[in-house]
Structure 1
Amino acid sequence: MTARSAHASTPLTVDASRPGDAPRTGMLQMGTNTSPDGRAIGINSRYLTRDGEPWLPVMGELHYSRVPEAQWGDELAKVRAAGVDIVSSYVIWRYHEPRPAQFDWSARNDLRRFVEISAKRGLLAFVRIGPWVHAEVRYGGIPAWVVDQVPVRSDDPLYLQYVQRFFEEIAAQLKGLLWKDGGPVIGIQLENEYNLTGPQQGREHIATLKRLALEAGLDVPLYTVTGWDNAVFPHREVTPVFGGYPDLPWGTSTDMSPPNEVYGFRFASRVGGDLGAQTHNAGPGDADAVADETPFLGAEFGGGVPMMYRRRPVLDADDIAAMLPVQLGSGVNLYGYYMLHGGRNPPRDLDGQESTATGGYNDLPVIHYDFQAPFGANGEAHPVLGKLRPVHLFLQQWGRALATCDVYRPDIVPHGHDNLEVPRYSVRADGDRGFLFFNNHVRQHRMPAWNSVQFSVKLATRTITLPSTPIDIAPGAWFIWPIGVTLGNARLRYATAQPVTRLSSAEGETHVFAATDGIPPEFAFDADCVKHVASVDARSNLSVHEADGALIVQPTPGEPFVATCSDGTRITIIVLACEDIERLSVLPFDGQRRLILTDALAFARDGELVLRSTDAASFDFAVYPPFTRTPTSTQQMVESKQSGFFQRFIVTVPPVAFDATITPLRAAQTVPPVVPGGTAHAAVEPTPETFGKAAAWRIDLPEAALNAPGLGNAYLSIRYTGDIGRLFSGANMIDDHFYNGLPWQIGVRNVTIDTRQPLMLTVLPLRADAPIYLDARHDPRVGLKDQVADVQSVNWVPEYEVIVSRG
């Protein structure tokens, strides 16, 4: 009998009855963890704490030096609206000390202002000081003048002098902003991907870096290092953080990747597979050795992947989102993204990218660093954001309960990440409550459908079977379901819908759930604590029946119901359909947290609601609870017929349109073959002289298109086919792009366009025999005989901004 047929007729079982290990405290030597007003950030062997309570935050990477400083306020507001708690950022040394002892902390290098704005937007900060940070930057961010004269990443005395001076400068910028001073900075990450064990290296070097940081004044509650690729570090002085990416653009294969390990639950080691470290260590590393002393924390779960010359994977939204149930279900107690927000390398630093020409392992674009992240290079929302935000909201609401839950493996598990014939799931439980995590998505590999499925979860004092009748789980599905939790005063035995958030009002609690695509939502309440269930809408087709001592409620997505508890209290349950949950934000407005449903990007800014709509001059948004007074708007806003329990508005903006015209300047010449080389012995980027063979077009754009009023931004959206695209304003290259089949988006407010100079687009031809990986959906080489360099379109796309204020 195969695993699939066995699971088609028997429950998928997990024994979660064994008590979890009690958290141990005082083992990790961290810094000052209490603020002047008594607030505390703590860490034990299993989870983080905030003010003494378990805490499971979301952290996202945004590099301040890669985003124009004028946009920090809005970009950090978007990050907060995405359900993120902590913003992390590398301090990239080469940007701050380009010449010895000449530091630059101005403009987009103003670390202090960035952290201050983060705090203003309600975000904590994790500062990743290196000094070697990788970040797809030349020499890992260490200035060339340092690399030229000393052995870096070691305890060489002169190198340490330079590092100490750099750390002291960072500390001066952060003075008064550390947690102990009442500021938002709760953590410092030392180095990155450190696995060197040669002379003056090894664990002792990390210990030295921590000592230098403390001596400089960088005294914070948490000190971390990356734990993958056989990392070495001093035990109990730092805690390792982990990660994983949905594809490996630093790989050397020109083929589609095999099933990736990030889609399989971890029940043994926290260490992921290849994360692209530039160095190697034959020893086992330290991460597994301290697993019983440190919590499972993440810092680099891929919010996307970068484009590297030899491999250019294109991700679908579920490729990133499906990692969440897997990693959380494996015990992760801090979910950290790299990257959450893309950007661009600073202007005029045109040799600062990682490249094989300067000894790097990979070739990156000179400027562009979109990363296919939830927020792109210009701060635009990519489709994956709608998949991730509901899970972030779940962690904000339920992370305290999840953090204490131990991990329990199923009775049958896949024998490897390439085994697609066994269901992938886990349970995290603490006593008689917990959560079920399931994943049936593996990037580029179809998982089977699982038919007639039920789960049987043995908890501390009871066994729960869910749902009441078997279900079918489709390929690609993933979900997080609650087991044995409480909603208000109602005990929820289980739900086949994912919890998202809770709202409180004078009428009582409202709990918001997300329907699982293809699976009917079902709520089972212990019958002794819920005496009545009714739909809010009398016309609703709500099914309620009793079975096995439970009240089984089967609502229709979008139609709320009310459960009256035995003590007379009431709770409202809203189950949103998948298409609505991806449009959902939860934002403060007019003194209350509210649900906002809209296709526009929504975020809060200084007490106002900001809505940004790309290309659509008319859009709607719905709100719950309804506004108590009609708000005002910078654009026409009309209340329309109520949509279910949501108050609905239609916003209309005067459309703005400009034409971008393109004129051919020169045809492409034949380019030489792409050759292997570098330390990876794989395809390397063409030499600088080769770019003279690129085809070129002039782009004409009215000056008004750069600063049209009423817009949050505007984009040049370029569709082309070739190898590498570059955009010049006069003689200055302002952006570049490795072709991957996706539109190349350039925010006109994210780059410097000189209206007195012509805009020129060049496209280096892609050869039919180029030994690089492209997604088959976007690979133009099929049937290509020689080379291609073509521009299909250049469009100007407006991003309308509407500000809604209290009436």
Structure 2
Amino acid sequence: MTQQFPRTALALACALAFAGTAATAQTLLSIDATAPVAKPVTGHLQLGTAVAPSGQALGANNQYLTLDGQPWMPVMGEFHYSRSPAETWEAELQKMKTAGITVVASYVMWNHHEEHEGKFLWQDNRDLRRFVELCAKVGLKAVVRVGPWVHAEVRYGGIPDWVVTSMRTRGDDPEYLRYVGRFYDEIGRQLRGTLWKDGGPVIGIQLENEYNLTGPGQGAQHIATLKKLALKAGMDVPFYTVTGWDGAVYPSGQVTPVFGGYPDEPWGTSTTELPPKETYAFRFDSRVSGDLGAQTAAQAPGTAETDIALTPFLGAEYGAGLPFMYRRRPVVSPDDIASMLPVQLGSGVNLMGYYMFHGGRNPIGDSTLEESTLSGGYNDTTAVNYDFQAPLGPDGQQRAVLTKLRPFHYFMADFGARLAPMTVRRPAVTPANATDLKTARVSLRSNGDSAFLFVNNHVRQYPMPAQKDVRFAVKLPGGTVEFPRKGIDVANGAYFVWPVNFDMDGTRLRYATAQPVTRLDQGAAGITYVFAASAGVPVELAFEAPAGTVIDAPGAQRSSSGGTVVLDRIKPGSGTAVTVKRDGGRPVNVLVLTPEQAQQLAVGDFAGQRRLVLSAQQAWFDNGGLQLRSPGNHRFRFGVYPALAKTPADVRAAGKDGVFQSYEAQLPERKLTATVAAVREAQPAPAVMRGGLAKAAIQPIPESWRAAGTWRIELPKNALEGLDDALLQLDFTGDIGRLLSGTRMVDDWYYSGYPWQIGLKHLNAQGPLTLAVLPLRADAPVYIPREGRPDFGGQPQLARVNKVSIIPVYRLAIKP
């Protein structure tokens, strides 16, 4: 809700902000946000049936999505059901929900369902209907990406071999459309009763992917044809989308473009580090973030470029990780991914969509189903593994990047309705281009006198100079707010979102040098707002304090003037930092977590109400209970706020940690050891060939594997006894590793320095395992990050197993 504030009050806040400022050379970063916000334009987007039987209504205008008429900012994560064991789906969806995902997206890969003409598979790991029903069960919405060409690093983009080799694809060829129509009919039958109009979770359908083909029977006409076929198959949903990058073409108004951006280009051909990616630079005039790996070349700017004023800025493929291609294997850090969030939000994104959020593995049919140069693809991907360095690994393991993303997701869930209608404001000074690493990277979104400030000082693989002694001047219709009182240093790698004139249930927070995370309503006990401190930045909060307001902030330094109270020297932690009480209002508590605590925070329904949980373990909520999963550590500790009425079974109370009640538990420890024995020594590997569509290094031909070294791995009996899973971690140095059970390949990996793990629970190994390692040649024209590039020590090639370990995975179920 936007409110106007007296100029005198804002002026006093400004004067207060100047108080105590040292007479040194400060940098004042200015943003003018006085221009009025344009009213949303509606009625031009052709949505499907958007009202559920319950009366809930979805909508879209040219600025944002709506839910029951209110701005709605969902977070969407990609999870491919056919690349994961069906028995794990429900728990994995619960993990995604706890991580702040509100919409699950999944490709329907045609060749996963109809490898042989007319023989459709919709059971076991390919049971689309069950997957969608589980989305509904755990409270997630779904977008089904039906293709028929999906890319997804899958053979022929997902189109079955028998289609590719017998007809013209990706256009209005009558024979092709007949088979596409039959495929869509099958999908429609699977989704019957699960669509939004039926009370189900499916709110969107994506047609095709990366489509920029033009000419007779192609272009916008073909997308319109696919939409007609989808509707004929019964797929009547509120939203129809297409990917909007690389000159995409589509019928304006009939579908809505979605966008993306990645922190590197594994589909590229460079064998060195890339220049700074524009993914880390705020966008003020465009939406397409550079090269996203489309396999067809655009002939002209696409419809998405001309539709900017007509469509909301929605994301579908912001990289939550990256795949490894044979010729290029970039490893990304958690900050490489998480720093993209303030950039995209500050650029106007109103749906944060990730690809991939959950890793997986390809099924194997008559052939392997990966994209490869051998089948005419542009890239060589691993045959089985589709890890993608995703926040949730193929075996459900939590990666560090998830803990960095989660606070942003909670922010979008609780405050996205405020952010979505806000207009992007360009600062007075902006970087000249993506390679300008010196100029401060700042953006603002505002609506009236309320705003959010976005700052990013992280660019992957490029150290950024610290922005020294910085203050901000935000010019709003009601006056200019300058903050903080003293200049701060924005360190290399820092990124954050700060509020300006932030309404806290009637209490006005003028500004904060901490990031809002979530809001917890405790009824008569009051309301708690949770913030995360920004690393290396002192926490400063400025409150409007009219007569009758009592502000309790133990340990903070307080200054006041003209009805504004500024609190600094606030020590982040798990205790209440500030309590504000107003006449006739409920208390408002402010909790400012350290950056480390914010990364351990999970928010969800536990024991009958919404609670905060702090734990170093992987945590998710499940049917009113709490699940904790711990790789390698059998001891558990977690804190809960508000405290539980009684101590749950199987845990013990462990005192208080600020406002959190702490609990501990310990499971029987398991120590697991694998036995490894060399079987065959590696032989000289042939030179890496170049060629394919990319005219770069291509994956070795199958016969090259005669040069591989092999090791036999014996697993302990009853390895999973008392455990949720056990992760087999294979540390090798070489070019490619393959894990085999007998002669059957069960997983594979391109060496990059990033750890390779396989869960034993779903490995289905029969007898001893064999690890084959193809040697990595010193002259191989492939990109491996500096951190992972091995020292050859003058040797022409390397193929060795450094260590094989088994990490026990403990799981603690806490039921209220």
Match of 1:474 among 485, 491, 494: 491
2-structure distance, mates of 1:783, 1:693? 20
Match of 1:739 among 739, 744, 751: 751
Asked if 1:439 corresponds to 2:456, the answer is: yes
User: Map of 1:17-166 to 2, 5 A cutoff?
Assistant: 17-166=34-183
2-structure distance, mates of 1:667, 1:394? 54
Match of 1:610 among 627, 634, 658: 627
2-structure distance, mates of 1:315, 1:575? 29
Match of 1:269 among 282, 286, 290: 286
Q: Which segment drifts farther, 556-565 or 23-32?
A: 556-565
Residue in structure 2 matched with residue 763 of structure 1 by the alignment? 773
Question: How far is 1:432 from its partner?
Answer: 0.5
Residue in structure 1 matched with residue 564 of structure 2 by the alignment? 550
Residue in structure 1 matched with residue 763 of structure 2 by the alignment? 751
Match of 1:178 among 183, 195, 209: 195
Residue in structure 1 matched with residue 815 of structure 2 by the alignment? 805
Q: CA RMSD in A?
A: 1.3
Question: How far is 1:752 from its partner?
Answer: 2.0
Aligned-pair identity (%): 52
1-structure distance, mates of 2:193, 2:455? 44
Residue in structure 1 matched with residue 275 of structure 2 by the alignment? 258
**Contact kept in structure 2, 1:8 and 1:451, CA below 8 Å:** no
Asked if 1:526 corresponds to 2:535, the answer is: no
Residue in structure 2 matched with residue 424 of structure 1 by the alignment? 441
Question: How far is 1:702 from its partner?
Answer: 2.1
Question: How far is 1:199 from its partner?
Answer: 2.5
Letter in 2 for 1:602: A
Deviation string, structure 1 residues 251-308 (Cα, Å, up to 9, x no partner)? 0000011100100000011111000000001211111111111000000000000010
2-structure distance, mates of 1:191, 1:573? 46
Asked if 1:647 corresponds to 2:661, the answer is: yes
Q: Return closer, same or farther for 1:614/1:620 CA change in 2, 3 Å cut-off.
A: same
**Contact kept in structure 1, 2:527 and 2:586, CA below 8 Å:** no
Q: Return closer, same or farther for 1:7/1:250 CA change in 2, 3 Å cut-off.
A: farther
Residue in structure 1 matched with residue 803 of structure 2 by the alignment? 793
Letter in 2 for 1:526: E
Q: Which segment drifts farther, 773-782 or 189-198?
A: 773-782
Q: Which runs of 5+ in 2 are unaligned?
A: 1-22
Letter in 2 for 1:650: E
Residue in structure 1 matched with residue 336 of structure 2 by the alignment? 319
Aligned with 1:715: secondary structure?
A: strand
Q: Which runs of 5+ in 1 are unaligned?
A: 1-5
Asked if 1:517 corresponds to 2:527, the answer is: no
Q: Which segment drifts farther, 395-404 or 618-627?
A: 618-627
**Contact kept in structure 1, 2:368 and 2:384, CA below 8 Å:** no
**Contact kept in structure 2, 1:347 and 1:734, CA below 8 Å:** no
Asked if 1:708 corresponds to 2:745, the answer is: no
Residue in structure 2 matched with residue 382 of structure 1 by the alignment? 399
Deviation string, structure 1 residues 76-115 (Cα, Å, up to 9, x no partner)? 0000000110000000000111111111000000000000
TM-score (norm 2): 0.95
Q: Which segment drifts farther, 561-570 or 592-601?
A: 561-570
Deviation string, structure 1 residues 423-477 (Cα, Å, up to 9, x no partner)? 0010000001010000000000011101110000011222111112111111100
2-structure distance, mates of 1:428, 1:507? 33
Match of 1:780 among 781, 790, 797: 790
Q: Return closer, same or farther for 1:29/1:243 CA change in 2, 3 Å cut-off.
A: same
**Contact kept in structure 1, 2:359 and 2:386, CA below 8 Å:** yes
2-structure distance, mates of 1:606, 1:566? 39
Residue in structure 2 matched with residue 450 of structure 1 by the alignment? 467
Asked if 1:693 corresponds to 2:707, the answer is: yes
Question: How far is 1:349 from its partner?
Answer: 5.9
Aligned with 1:703: secondary structure?
A: coil
Asked if 1:721 corresponds to 2:743, the answer is: no
**Contact kept in structure 2, 1:67 and 1:750, CA below 8 Å:** no
Q: Return closer, same or farther for 1:730/1:410 CA change in 2, 3 Å cut-off.
A: same
Q: Return closer, same or farther for 1:297/1:496 CA change in 2, 3 Å cut-off.
A: same
1-structure distance, mates of 2:550, 2:515? 23
User: Map of 1:478-517 to 2, 5 A cutoff?
Assistant: 478-505=495-522, 506-517=524-535
Question: How far is 1:703 from its partner?
Answer: 3.1
2-structure distance, mates of 1:350, 1:629? 55
Letter in 2 for 1:31: G
Aligned with 1:640: secondary structure?
A: strand
**Contact kept in structure 1, 2:77 and 2:356, CA below 8 Å:** yes
**Contact kept in structure 2, 1:534 and 1:542, CA below 8 Å:** no
Aligned with 1:704: secondary structure?
A: coil
Letter in 1 for 2:662: R
1-structure distance, mates of 2:781, 2:115? 36
1-structure distance, mates of 2:302, 2:799? 46
Deviation string, structure 1 residues 468-506 (Cα, Å, up to 9, x no partner)? 211111110000001111112201111110000011113
**Contact kept in structure 2, 1:8 and 1:450, CA below 8 Å:** no
Q: Which segment drifts farther, 791-800 or 564-573?
A: 564-573
Asked if 1:664 corresponds to 2:678, the answer is: yes
User: Map of 1:209-248 to 2, 5 A cutoff?
Assistant: 209-248=226-265
Deviation string, structure 1 residues 217-271 (Cα, Å, up to 9, x no partner)? 1000000000000000011010100000011000000001110010000001111
Match of 1:400 among 400, 410, 417: 417
Question: How far is 1:766 from its partner?
Answer: 0.2
**Contact kept in structure 2, 1:60 and 1:339, CA below 8 Å:** yes
TM-score (norm 1): 0.97
Deviation string, structure 1 residues 610-646 (Cα, Å, up to 9, x no partner)? 110110011211111111122123xxx2211211111
Residue in structure 2 matched with residue 3 of structure 1 by the alignment? none
User: Map of 1:578-617 to 2, 5 A cutoff?
Assistant: 578-617=595-634
Deviation string, structure 1 residues 629-664 (Cα, Å, up to 9, x no partner)? 22123xxx2211211111111111110122101000
Q: Return closer, same or farther for 1:349/1:52 CA change in 2, 3 Å cut-off.
A: farther
Residue in structure 1 matched with residue 15 of structure 2 by the alignment? none
Match of 2:640 among 618, 623, 645: 623
Q: Which segment drifts farther, 717-726 or 603-612?
A: 603-612
Residue in structure 1 matched with residue 5 of structure 2 by the alignment? none
Aligned with 2:282: secondary structure?
A: coil
Q: Return closer, same or farther for 1:457/1:143 CA change in 2, 3 Å cut-off.
A: same
Question: How far is 1:708 from its partner?
Answer: 1.7
Letter in 2 for 1:576: L
**Contact kept in structure 1, 2:525 and 2:586, CA below 8 Å:** no
2-structure distance, mates of 1:33, 1:569? 37
2-structure distance, mates of 1:491, 1:202? 51
Residue in structure 1 matched with residue 19 of structure 2 by the alignment? none
Q: Return closer, same or farther for 1:348/1:566 CA change in 2, 3 Å cut-off.
A: same
Question: How far is 1:527 from its partner?
Answer: 2.5
**Contact kept in structure 1, 2:27 and 2:468, CA below 8 Å:** no
Question: How far is 1:351 from its partner?
Answer: 2.1
2-structure distance, mates of 1:712, 1:460? 56
2-structure distance, mates of 1:530, 1:420? 48
Question: How far is 1:198 from its partner?
Answer: 2.6
Residue in structure 1 matched with residue 10 of structure 2 by the alignment? none
Question: How far is 1:567 from its partner?
Answer: 4.0
